Each structure stands twice: as structure tokens, then as C-alpha cells.
Chains A and B, each alone.
Chain A
């Protein structure tokens, strides 16, 4: 079990130190700093063993979170906890930064007391935590309220309290995907996958029972066999194969296992309903065609064409193409048809930015790079061209088919609920070799 949790800033100074077990000494804090943060060689492994003590760390911007234990713990559990901890902190005070952590240290200690007990993770659901750990002083709670909190925290549905009432029952569903790609210079896909999340914001009264449906291939095929043949036929390619997925704790897994239907009682407010990954039939929103020509020892000509590959009615946004330059670049001239391009010496790259671009269009940039002859015989490694963008559809092809809400006790039905669905596809690591 987790013996202690430390938070350091980028210099290795301890911001938060909470020790849960006696087997973790004071020097553990320093051991991690010396051996990981200030290590001569950058430590890549997230798990470090120092003097029979294991340190599990994650890094958020400049902040190090390290969990310490002397026991043989389930490493996946520890990391899951650390990520949860990050989520909880982000939910309470926004971005995790040194400033924010210093300003909220009392809150963080309070949270740490609540979500870890003698090193065992407890309820870490933000919604539930917010009911009894608040940033605005302690409200005088009646006995009744206190007992309610107790029953809720220890009860079966720990993530939702009872008696929530909204005048307008509303529900927002975001499908957020990031598409990752590695492509050869000839346009051959070397690897590609989409990792997506379904994030839900629910403002529903009572204890509603929800059912979520999407174009999961297994479900569609089953239905197709079941008799609703025309439905499946109409959707054609519309179904997608999900490689793997995880759900929020509110989802009834037994039901998913048996019927592959996703039913749950949602927490109040924002939460992540599911996470998934697909590798087949990915719609690649952009195609990058590089052309690099070395002219003698001191000159390099680069031409890059990007083509958008989606419906012309849709608009991609925040497009950024990053073309790496050799380490001995001494000057760059860039010409581009659209957007703005600039040589950024500090990053050794040409950065080309386009605000907006419609589907089925193409654009091009050409650059002349002057090189300084060096006595170093090493050849330039030609790192891949990377790209960032945002598109208003799901590159995996996922579609939300329905989200039904049933609340038997209160008198509102599925039709009364206002539902919003949004798809956002972003680039993950989207690279093309040149």
C-alpha cells in the first residue's frame, strides 16, 4: 500500500509531504530528489527503486507527484491513484502549478486525508468529495446532513447524492478523440490509432437511470442478426470496432459484459463516462506530403503540402505544422500560400500556422534552409514532420446513437431531457517522416 505521497516543484523542493506509514522515513523525500529529480541522467522509468523503497512518479508540467512504498504494491493501482489525484486537484483549483499548489496546500492535505486512508485509496470521486471538502470554510452542518454524507460515502452509489433537483434537465455529451499517426515519406501508414473519451456533463434531477448507445460493431452486428436488418444495412460501414475500453465506476460492468449495453446512474456534474481506443478504419483528417532536397553541403530545400481529407462543409482549426531543421541551420527563407510560417531557432523548427481550413483543400509551404558547414561527420537524423489540428468530427467514426434517461420516481421522461452532443477530433502525435 502507498506509504506516503510527496509533491515537488521543478527544483526538487518539497511542496507537499504526507506520510501514511511508519516504514517511510524522512529521508525518503531526499532520496527521491537526489536520485530522480536531480539525477545526472534523466530518469525515464516512472518507477524507481531506491534502497528497497519504491517511488512511483508522474510529472504534470513542472510538478512532480511521487508515491512511495516499501511494500510490493500493485503499480497500476498506484498510478491510477496518482492520475485520479491530479484530476481531483485540477477539479478543485484548475491547472496544477507550483503557484496553485502553494495557494491550496491546506486543501490538498485535506484531500489527501480523505482519499487515502493508511495508504489505501478511498473515494476519489470529485463530485462526492466536493460535498464535504469545500474551499469556502465549513458550513454549519446539521446532524442530518452529516449522517447523510456518511451514508452516501459509504453507500452503494457513492458518486451521487440523493435529492438533486434541476428545473431544466439537461445533458451534454462530448466525444473527444485524439488521433495518432506515423506515416512514411511515401504516404504509407506505419502506425495509427485513435484514443477517445466520452465526457458527460449531467444536470439531471433525482436518481436517473441512463442508457448509452453507440455504433459499436458488436452491438450493431448482433442487432443485425436479431432481425433489424434494415437498420444495419442502412448504417453500412457506420459501425466501428473498439479495441479496448474502460468505464467510469458508475457503469454496470456486469450488464456490459452480458449484453454489451452501457447503463448507469450518472454522477452529478462533469465526469468521464468511458475511454476507448480504436485502430481500424481511422479517418485521417490530413495528409502531409514532404519533399526534402539537399542542394550541396550548405543548402536544403523543403517543400511540404498538406491536404485536408474530410467533408468540405467542415472546418478544421488551429492547424500547426512543425518542420524540423538541421542543427547547423544558419538561415531560413519561407514562402507559404496560406497562414503564417516562421523559423523558430530555439526549437530548431519551422512552424507553420493556419487558423482555419475547410475539407478537401490543399496548401503548401516551401522553405530554403542555409547550412553552416561543420567538421562533424554525423548526418542529420531527419526527425519527422509533426502536425497539430482540431476537427469537428470523430476520426474513429464513433457515433452516439442514443442516450436514454429513465427516472421513475420523478415525473420527467426521456423526451423532457435536453441533450447536446459534440464531436471533437484532435491530433495526438501526428507525424510524417521526411
Chain B
């Protein structure tokens, strides 16, 4: 039987509990409980008055039974009665029962609230604490409604006991978390902040949790807490370990409070006041110094407490990212932890280092630990630590150590955990691409990657390697040799076969001189893999075969034999069958010259061309039937289904940096300032990013040769990479519509939903994490969002937009987040164009032309004649014009082919009326042999405005028409 203290013990309860524990079976337990319940029911029958002790005892028993998992549907009344008792134990049991068992039951809540109110207004601190604990434990909305007004008063009242203040602060924090709208701090703010100066450390500790939570929601109001927090922190840090008595934990002064203070400081930018800043830096230095001191105790608690403060301090240093000295010291400190024998410390050190690596000040310092990190990757037993090590390697990689790191990651990949392989492959591919100076190294790396972890290599990776090989003459021979060797492995991955097939088909001739890799040997090697491959790979291999016929006429009979066999020419798959039939005919009918022309080597992928233009060119439709074209066509098919463009490259970002969004905290509108750069940038990028991932490491330092190596070819050949980047295209799509996907890459998808009324708009941005790993430090330039985006989760952001005046450039949205330790940075155009603020206007034919004629001065008119890219479909055109936001006026223009529209652009400053006229000219022939139709457009403003407005409108409209994705 459990020991029970004499005075307060409830013997009946102890007996009951020991009975239950002694029960042999579940049935016996239920019997015992039923018996006890019946007993309690008979006691609670109501005709007898129970004394406080028995009430307490039975309520306790009920609580115990409830905790065993049985339903309790009576006894609430008795528990509420206990609340009005004057004995501490009885009150305590009453509150306990209520916080565990009472749900929002209307009649009882009123009684309970009454009892709580009584206790709160009593002078007895223990009773007040009990009441506060109950409020916090229940924490329901009803509770918040009843007490949210009272608790701040208790918290800041001068005569409140310290222990009550502590409870009140935590209780308020709880209520604020459940229903922030009910807890109005307003007038209390400054007094709550001044709790940081309280004598009592417990009060400070409790208050700081509250302040941290509150200041995350409205940082401005609590700004004053920074200096207070710094002074408090410096007092703690500089105190001797014995000064704080009760709050010294294993020789560490107030570790919890220190951590919380440091965390609070992380909500704010570095203090602007020099003195405060100096003091803080001093504190941080002291903390770093203390870490170097020999431990005062061998107990694990001592080192835990010390390290907790240290890591928080380092997090703060990283957050500020402005003190190179501190950053480097932090990095050195972490370096020591990397070899610590405690796994948790190693993990934490690696994690913090990942963030340190992206700071320009400490990047070099982090790099000095590369050997240790590589060692950790190889020898670490804990998989989560290995993963962190891999993250850190990725983060610390730059041009100087790329080769080493990629090699290490590749060798680790062979033994890596399956759960992180995909991520590792992606990282290796990105690093290899980003820091490639030597093409043969790049080719080697990627082929190795395919060999080691073929299953985890996505399509883009091998497309990319092929593009690079094709574009670079000097690497082609080497690549052919390497793939030939790689293919000789008895079991090689399908992706390897694809790369091999493509490269040998193109450049097999470069190694044909060697008798070991004679044409026939090459062919046999490829064909030996044929039967093990899936249909798309087989199709690719068939194309490679026909190219072989061109490259090596001596293989023609063999290959024709292969093509002619039933398994090809009568294949059940239409694609394969068609290829076999066509290639067979092509090889037997066409003369050598024709063959050579048709099967010419692939032209280099366009390098310095904007993806938009490249795409426009491609749209000439199905052309000549050549092997290459067939393949091209296939890719193009994928491309047409919504491949996009790379993000606005770095120069574009630089140019449009002048466009800024100012978001005052209170009035949620932007001022849009507009310098007049062209609406669309088609500047070539110095270094394209393979997967739309951008690292914070300086990219512009890349030598020009590397720049030209890594061109924007993705938009050409990456069918599986929908919108490998950016959003010029995405932006265009939004000219005529309001909802859709703005941007998508492998990590992130951004969806937009928007609505506009007059000069106001509201835009919902949805950030979807496509990976299984969480994004941390997720920030956008607009408004603060939740900094953590879990894998597969979506975060929503609402922006209110007000058009102040006419503008030409879309506002930019900059998104930063950390994925696997590396900083990702994206800059996108928000899909806001001037036409969004169009208000449609209906008018009659007479009115329209009257006004049209009035607006004939040069600055009132803009006109543009451009070629249509597609056949003009009246319905499509109508839909586009409606999507533009103007009213489409039917039967106004005497010429039925023409379209006229009218609308008013609403801005805060002015309203600009616009008349639009679209005059398609279906007959006009241009001197190329393509049928091109021209369409004209005119627009005249009603009000007074500059020509820029008009040309703006026109260019928006124009672009919406040349882009077929607008709808």
C-alpha cells in the first residue's frame, strides 16, 4: 500500500487504488470500479450532507477512475462545491477535477467562473494562484472571455505577490495563444515590458515568455523591451555564479532566463543605440568566453545549461549577421563541438554551422572545418547527424572546395540512408552544375551520380548533362568515351542507358577509331541494354540507332535487321512501332546525302537567348521529319504543357531593385514607385541555376567561361521541369486572369488568387512546400509569415494592394528560406499590372466614336502594330479582352472584325479613361512564307494623362497577346 502522510492522507483513496492495482484481470478491475462508482453515487445522493474531507476523497476517486479511462458523468457539482472551501487541499482537488473534466458545460461554467472570480479577488496568494492555474489549464475561449480583462490588471498591480505575478503572466500567455483577439494589451504594454526589471527572477522568467509571444505578433509596440532585455542579460551574464542563489543551476546563473532573453532579442534587428549594442556585444563575448572556461562541475546538467545559453547566443549572432568578429568566434566554438563526444552537441553544432555558412563573414571560417565535417559524414553513427553533416557540406561549398565536397558526397551516396538519397542527389547535381569549371569533371560527376544512385536521379539532371555535352565541343569525345566505359558495366541504370544512347548516337564517331569501341561494338553494347529498358528509353535508343546508320554506314545492315524484326516493327507500343517503321524506311530510301542532312548532329542548344524568344521560335509547329526533330517534338510537347522560365536573373533583380514595396504596418497598401525600365528583361544570365535553387554564395564571382557553360537551356529541354524558374512567363499568364500558379520549381510552388475592385486589390499567395523537408526561416519581403513551412504544407499570405498612381513595373516579391541548410532566394514579379485596375464602362456606338475622335492629340493616343503569333480565334480574343478588365463593346464598331473596349483605370491619384480598339488584319501577308496575321490596336485616354500610361497599357495588352499562356 502506498505510503500516505498522516494529516492529509485519504485512506479510502489509497485502499481503492491499491485494490485496483491488485486486480488480476480487466474484468476484475471493471467490477471494482463499478462497485466504487455505486458507492460514490449513494454518497452523493443528495439527502445527506457530506463534509469537505469525504467530498474531496470521492472527487479524488472519481478523478482516478476517469484517468483510468472510464466515463464520469456525475460529481461535477461536488467538485464545484469544493472550490468554495477554505482549505487549500480541498480547493486544490476541486480545481484539479475541473481542469481535467469540465468541458464547456453551460450551467456549471457560470458557477466555476464565479468561484474563480472570488478567488482572484481574494487576498490569499495561494488561492489566486490556484485560480490562475485553473484558467490556464482549461484555457478555453469561455475562460478567456471571462478573465482576459482581469488578468493583466493582476499582472501589473503593484501589490500583487511575486508568485501570483508569475502565474498571471503564464496564464495570460496561454489565453493569448488560444484567443489572441480577446487579450488586448493596449494600455498594459509598457508596464508588462517593465516587468523585465522586476526584482524577482521568477517573475522575469514568466514575463519574458509572454513578451516574446506578444512581440512576435506586434514587434513595434514592444520595441522598448530590447534595451531592457540587454541590460538584464548583461546583469545575469556578468554575475558570479553564486549571486543569484535560487536561480543558479549547477553553477550557471539563471540559464532559462538567459536563453529566453536571447530568444526575445532574436525577434528584433540589432539595436540601433550604440551603447545598448556595445553592451549586448559584450554580453555575447562573455558568453563565448565562458564556453572556453573549464567546467565548474562534471555533472551533465552544468554543461547542458551552459551550452543551451551558448547555442542561443550563437543563434542571436547569426540572426544579427553583422559582427564578423563574433561570427568567427562562434564558428570556432562550434568547430570545437564538432568533435565533442556527445552526439547531441555534434548535431547542434552542425545545424548552427549550416546557418553560419550562409553568412558572408563566417563562410570562410566555416570552411576550415571541412575535414571534420567530411569525417562526420563518414564515421558518424547517427543518421540524423550524418544528414546535418551533408547539409553543412552543401552549405559551405563554393568554387574552391567544390571538387572535394562533391567527391565526398558522391562517395557517401553509396552508403547513404535511403531516406536522404534523393535529397543528396539533388544537392550533388546542383553543386556540380553550379561550380563546374571543367566540363569533363562535370560529366564524370553526373555519370557517377547516375551510376551510384540512378533511381534517385530525376530527368532534369540527365537532360542537363546532355545539353552541356552538346554545347561544348571539347568535352564531346571525352563524354563519348566515358559513357561507353560506363555502359560496359553488366548492370547499369536506365538513366545511364539514356545518356549513353544519346551521346553515342551523336558523338559515337569520335571514339570509333579505337578498335575496342568500333561502331559495331558500340551498337551491340547499346542493343544489349535495349530489352531491359522501358518504352521511352527504347524510343530514344531507336533514334540513336538511326543516327548510327548515318555516322557509320557499315552498321546499316545490322541496324536495319534489328529494326525489321517483329519485336520492333510490330511492337504493340505505337510510338516504338512508328519509329521503327519510319527509321527503316528512311534508312532504305534516302540517299546518303539526305540521310546526312536529316540526321545531322544536334545543333547546340541556344545559350544566350531568353527562354521566351526561344520558345516563340519553336512554335513553328511540326516541321521536317528527322530523328532529331522527332525527339525534339516530344520534348516540346512536354514544354508546351506549361514549362516556364527561369526566375528573373540576378541582373534583372538588380535593375528592378529600385522598385520597392513599402508596407507600413498599419495601413496595408503599397506605394509603387516606377522607374521606367522595359517591362520585360531578357538579359542573359551569367549563371543559370539548374533547378531554380539559388544559394546565397556569391555567384557573380564565377569566371565568364563557367557562365557560358551553364546557360539557360533548361527551358528548352526540360519537359519535366515545369517552370524551372521564374515568372516572366508566369507573370504574363496573369495579365488576363487572376488565379493560378505563379511560380513552381522542385522545392516550392506559389499559387495566386487575387481580386480587384476599383483601385484596391487583395491577393492571396499560397506558398506550398513540395519537398518532404521543412523550410526554415521562411520570409518574404511583404509581410511576416510563419517562418517554418513543414514538408508538404502550404502557407498562406494575404496582401492588400492599393494602386496609388499609374505604374509600369510590377512590384517584386523576394522570398528567402532555408532548405536543408542552404539559403534559397527567389525574386518574383507579383502579377499586378495596370490593367488590373480597369473598371469596365459600357457605352453606345455613338458615344464611343464621339469620344474617340475627341482624343486625337498625339499625347492622348498610342498605337502599336504587331504580328499575331497564333491563328486568331474570335472567341479566344474576346476572352482575352474581357480578362483584361475592360468592357468589350459589341456591335459598336462598324467593321465586325474589329474589337472595341472601354474602361477606366482607377488609381488613388486619378482616374484614367481608356478606349481600346483592336483591329485584326487577317489578310495581311508578310514576305516570309508563313502566314502571319497582323493586328493593330489603338487606345485613347479620356482624361488627362501622360503618354507613358498609354504605352503601358498597350505594352501590357501586347504582351498578353503574344503569350499564348494568358488564358
Spell out A's residues near B (CB within 8 Å).
10, 62, 327-331, 345-348, 370, 372, 374-376
Asked if B368 is at the interface of the complex by the 8 Å CB criterion, the answer is no
A329-B31 contact in complex given A372-B74, A375-B105, C-beta closer than 8 Å: no
Query: Within the complex, which residue of A62, A345, A372, A376 is in contact with B34, where a contact is CB–CB below 8 Å?
Result: A345
12 intermolecular pairs with C-beta atoms under 8 Å apart? A10-B25, A62-B25, A328-B74, A330-B45, A331-B45, A345-B38, A345-B39, A370-B45, A372-B41, A375-B73, A375-B107, A376-B74
B38: which A residues are within 8 A, CB to CB?
329-330, 345-346, 348
| CB proximity of B510 to chain A, nearest CB, Å | 54
Q: Which of B8-39 contact A (CB under 8 A)?
A: 24-25, 31-32, 34-35, 37-39
Query: Within the complex, which residue of A62, A347, A374 is in contact with B74, where a contact is CB–CB below 8 Å?
Result: A374
Compute how far the CA of A426 lies from the CA of B32 in the bound complex, rounded to whole angstroms. Answer: 29
Q: Are A346 and B24 in contact (CB under 8 A)?
A: no
What 10 pairs between A and B have smallest CB-CB spacing?
A: A345-B38, A376-B73, A346-B31, A346-B35, A330-B41, A374-B73, A330-B45, A345-B35, A374-B74, A372-B41
Compute how far the CA of A331 lies from the CA of B24 in the bound complex, rounded to whole angstroms. Answer: 28
A330: which B residues are within 8 A, CB to CB?
38, 41-42, 44-45
B35: which A residues are within 8 A, CB to CB?
345-346
Return the chain B residue nearest A349 by Cβ. B34
Query: Within the complex, which residue of A62, A372, A375 is in contact with B45, where a contact is CB–CB below 8 Å?
Result: A372
Interface string of B66-96 (1 = CB under 8 A from A): 0000010110100000000000000000000
B44: which A residues are within 8 A, CB to CB?
330, 372
A347-B34 contact in complex given A10-B24, A330-B45, C-beta closer than 8 Å: yes
Q: Are A375 and B42 in contact (CB under 8 A)?
A: no
Q: Which of A327, A370, A372, A376 has the most CB of B within 10 A?
A: A372
A331: which B residues are within 8 A, CB to CB?
42, 45
Q: Which of B24, B38, B42 has the most CB of A within 10 A?
A: B38
Interface string of B88-111 (1 = CB under 8 A from A): 000000000000000001011000
| CB proximity of B47 to chain A, nearest CB, Å | 10
Compute how far the CA of A10 lies from the CA of B44 in the bound complex, rounded to whole angstroms. Answer: 36
Q: Are A328 and B73 in contact (CB under 8 A)?
A: yes
Compute how far the CA of A321 lies from the CA of B105 in the bound complex, rounded to whole angstroms. Answer: 39
| CB proximity of B761 to chain A, nearest CB, Å | 50
A348: which B residues are within 8 A, CB to CB?
34, 38
B32: which A residues are within 8 A, CB to CB?
346
Compute how far the CA of A372 lies from the CA of B34 in the bound complex, rounded to whole angstroms. Answer: 15
Chain B interface size, as a band, is: 20 to 34
B31: which A residues are within 8 A, CB to CB?
346-347
Compute how far the CA of A28 lies from the CA of B76 in the bound complex, rounded to whole angstroms. Answer: 47
Q: Are B41 and A329 in contact (CB under 8 A)?
A: yes
B46: which A residues are within 8 A, CB to CB?
372
Spell out B's residues near A (CB within 8 Å).
24-25, 31-32, 34-35, 37-39, 41-42, 44-46, 71, 73-74, 76, 105, 107-108
| CB proximity of B72 to chain A, nearest CB, Å | 9
| CB proximity of B820 to chain A, nearest CB, Å | 34
Query: Within the complex, which residue of B24, B25, B76 is in contact with A375, where a contact is CB–CB below 8 Å?
Result: B76
| CB proximity of B616 to chain A, nearest CB, Å | 58
Compute how far the CA of A347 lies from the CA of B41 in the bound complex, rounded to whole angstroms. Answer: 15
4 more CB-based (< 8 A) A-B contacts, given A346-B35, A375-B73, A376-B73: A10-B25, A346-B32, A372-B45, A375-B74
Compute how far the CA of A53 lies from the CA of B172 in the bound complex, rounded to whole angstroms. Answer: 54
A376: which B residues are within 8 A, CB to CB?
71, 73-74
Compute how far the CA of A348 lies from the CA of B44 in the bound complex, rounded to whole angstroms. Answer: 17
A370: which B residues are within 8 A, CB to CB?
45
Query: Within the complex, which residue of B24, B37, B39, B76 is in contact with A62, where a contact is CB–CB below 8 Å?
Result: B24
Compute how far the CA of A130 lies from the CA of B37 in the bound complex, rounded to whole angstroms. Answer: 50
Compute how far the CA of A348 lies from the CA of B39 in the bound complex, rounded to whole angstroms. Answer: 12
Compute how far the CA of A357 lies from the CA of B24 in the bound complex, rounded to whole angstroms. Answer: 36
B107: which A residues are within 8 A, CB to CB?
375
A372: which B residues are within 8 A, CB to CB?
41, 44-46, 74
Compute how far the CA of A375 lies from the CA of B73 in the bound complex, rounded to whole angstroms. Answer: 6
Return the chain A residue nearest B30 by Cβ. A346
A345: which B residues are within 8 A, CB to CB?
34-35, 37-39
Compute how far the CA of A374 lies from the CA of B74 in the bound complex, rounded to whole angstroms. Answer: 5
Compute how far the CA of A10 lies from the CA of B76 in the bound complex, rounded to whole angstroms. Answer: 36
Return the chain B residue nearest A61 by Cβ. B25
Q: Are A328 and B41 in contact (CB under 8 A)?
A: yes
Return the chain A residue nearest B41 by Cβ. A330
Q: Which of B25, B45, B108 has the most CB of A within 10 A?
A: B45
Compute how far the CA of A168 lies from the CA of B832 in the bound complex, rounded to whole angstroms. Answer: 110
A347: which B residues are within 8 A, CB to CB?
31, 34
A375: which B residues are within 8 A, CB to CB?
73-74, 76, 105, 107-108
| CB proximity of B648 to chain A, nearest CB, Å | 53
Compute how far the CA of A347 lies from the CA of B74 in the bound complex, rounded to whole angstroms. Answer: 19
Compute how far the CA of A348 lies from the CA of B32 in the bound complex, rounded to whole angstroms. Answer: 11
Compute how far the CA of A328 lies from the CA of B73 in the bound complex, rounded to whole angstroms. Answer: 9
A62: which B residues are within 8 A, CB to CB?
24-25
| CB proximity of B367 to chain A, nearest CB, Å | 48
Compute how far the CA of A376 lies from the CA of B103 in the bound complex, rounded to whole angstroms. Answer: 12
Return the chain B residue nearest A345 by Cβ. B38
Q: Are A346 and B41 in contact (CB under 8 A)?
A: no
Return the chain A residue nearest B38 by Cβ. A345
A374: which B residues are within 8 A, CB to CB?
73-74
| CB proximity of B919 to chain A, nearest CB, Å | 73
Compute how far the CA of A10 lies from the CA of B38 in the bound complex, rounded to whole angstroms. Answer: 27
| CB proximity of A425 to chain B, nearest CB, Å | 28
Q: Are A346 and B73 in contact (CB under 8 A)?
A: no
| CB proximity of B16 to chain A, nearest CB, Å | 13
| CB proximity of B43 to chain A, nearest CB, Å | 8
A329: which B residues are within 8 A, CB to CB?
38, 41
B45: which A residues are within 8 A, CB to CB?
330-331, 370, 372
| CB proximity of A140 to chain B, nearest CB, Å | 44
Compute how far the CA of A10 lies from the CA of B26 in the bound complex, rounded to whole angstroms. Answer: 9
B25: which A residues are within 8 A, CB to CB?
10, 62
Q: Which of A10, A345, A347 has the most CB of B within 10 A?
A: A345
Q: Which of B32, B41, B76, B105 has the most CB of A within 10 A?
A: B41
Compute how far the CA of A62 lies from the CA of B71 in the bound complex, rounded to whole angstroms. Answer: 26
Compute how far the CA of A346 lies from the CA of B33 in the bound complex, rounded to whole angstroms. Answer: 7
Q: Are A346 and B76 in contact (CB under 8 A)?
A: no
Compute how far the CA of A372 lies from the CA of B41 in the bound complex, rounded to whole angstroms. Answer: 7
Compute how far the CA of A327 lies from the CA of B73 in the bound complex, rounded to whole angstroms. Answer: 10
